[in-house]
């Protein structure tokens, strides 16, 4: 049972289906970046259920669900792979593609590259079903984060970039492709430039996370304060609300410790643009920094809440 189904059946789903349906109907290639545990998994579960024709679930939601046609779905959950060994990403991709091939009744040659297998699968599935394909990629950045600062990073980056570029080359076979992640990876994304990046667009700013109106009892000082698009409403962190802690990977901890980092520099921080692959961009991706407001050509960033401040302060004292 996926998270969307579980929440709906428990009457615990904060209903975002009208916005999600608008998102689905207004894009065919999408990228969305949000901090860990900010609701990306539930969003992708909802999109998957939408194209599966799950009327039993959407009958309990706000939208007038009229999706009568189902579509073949290929969903890659990159966060479940193990990439710390040579060929880790290839192993995950081939295992996942084999499962799809078995599901849809195709033979797969194990001696081919994942790129060729993926291309072949899209063509065959489109032709066999007579329908366009839905491709969902959860946490595209997981292989790069796991192999960061390891000898396997280069090969992982090349394979992941080439694999994602298949989406660009096979646009005619696709109904929609949605890619999510917790971090911006410029080395990959500058090549995979066909995705529309909604991460800082106000129109779909509230796809993940909760507004105060949606979750009126939440303590915004502890769990809220997040804004990803200029003019967007402040959002509450779903993971923090459930008692989870903000994640900080080992490389980011080391980066903070090795720099002359001063937490007071974030109270607030004014920048014309946030440099990619900088300490500040990593803090933004992981939910320790957020957009406060835009003033003329400058963006004002700051720590979103007390939970983030406590975590940063505790790390600096070690």
pLDDT in tens, 253-285: 888 888 877 777 777 777 666 677 788 899 999
The 10s digit of each residue's pLDDT in 25-48 is 988 999 999 999 999 999 999 999
Residues 6+ apart with CB under 8 A from 191: 161, 165
- Region 193-206 average pLDDT: 93
Q: Give 290-295 contacts, CB < 8 A, sequence gap 24+.
A: 290/225, 290/226, 290/227, 290/228, 291/200, 291/227, 291/228, 291/229, 291/230, 291/232, 292/227, 292/268, 293/230, 294/230, 294/231, 295/270
Q: Where are the alpha helices (DSSP H) in 53-141?
A: 55-58, 88-104, 114-129
The 10s digit of each residue's pLDDT in 138-159 is 999 999 999 999 999 999 999 9
Predicted TM-score of the model (pTM): 0.94
Q: Specify which residues 290 forms β-bridges with.
A: 302
| 74, 136 contact by CB (below 8 A) | yes
pLDDT: which is higher, 31 or 314: 31
Query: How far apart are the C-alpha atoms of 242 and 245, rounded to whole Å?
Result: 9
Q: What are the distances in angstroms from CA 27 to CA 31, 81, 174, 191, 204?
A: 10, 28, 12, 20, 11
- Region 188-193 average pLDDT: 92
Query: How sure is the predictor about 67, in pLDDT bands with cuts at 50, 70 and 90?
Result: low
Place of tokens 């969305």: 32
- Region 116-131 average pLDDT: 96
């Amino acid at each position: 049972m996926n998270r969307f189904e579980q929440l709906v059946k428990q009457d615990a789903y904060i209903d975002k289906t009208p916005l999600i349906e608008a998102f689905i109907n207004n894009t065919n290639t999408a990228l969305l970046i949000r901090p860990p545990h900010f609701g990306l998994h539930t969003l992708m579960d909802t999109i998957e259920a939408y194209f599966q024709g799950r009327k039993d679930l959407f009958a309990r939601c706000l939208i007038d669900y009229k999706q009568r046609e189902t579509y073949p779905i290929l969903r890659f959950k990159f966060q479940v792979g193990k990439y710390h060994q040579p060929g880790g990403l290839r192993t995950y991709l081939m295992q996942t593609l084999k499962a799809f091939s078995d599901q849809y009744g195709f033979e797969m040659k194990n001696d081919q590259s994942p790129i060729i297998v993926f291309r072949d699968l899209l063509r065959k599935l489109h032709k066999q079903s007579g329908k366009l394909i839905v491709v969902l990629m959860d946490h595209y950045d997981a292989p790069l984060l796991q192999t960061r600062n390891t000898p396997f990073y280069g090969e992982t980056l090349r394979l992941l970039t080439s694999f994602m570029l298949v989406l660009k080359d096979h646009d005619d076979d696709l109904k929609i492709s949605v890619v999510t992640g917790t971090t911006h990876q410029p080395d990959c994304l500058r090549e995979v430039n066909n995705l529309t990046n909604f991460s800082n667009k106000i129109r779909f700013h509230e796809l993940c996370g909760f507004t105060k109106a949606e979750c009126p009892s939440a303590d915004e000082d502890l769990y809220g304060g997040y804004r990803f698009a200029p003019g967007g409403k402040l959002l509450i962190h779903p993971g923090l609300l459930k008692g989870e802690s903000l994640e900080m990977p080992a490389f980011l901890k080391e980066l903070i410790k090795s720099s002359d980092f001063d937490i007071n520099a974030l109270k607030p921080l004014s920048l014309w643009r946030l440099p990619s692959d900088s300490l500040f961009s990593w803090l933004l991706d992981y939910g320790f920094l957020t957009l406060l407001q835009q003033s003329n050509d400058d963006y004002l960033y700051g720590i979103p809440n007390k939970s983030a401040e406590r975590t940063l302060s505790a790390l600096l004292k070690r």
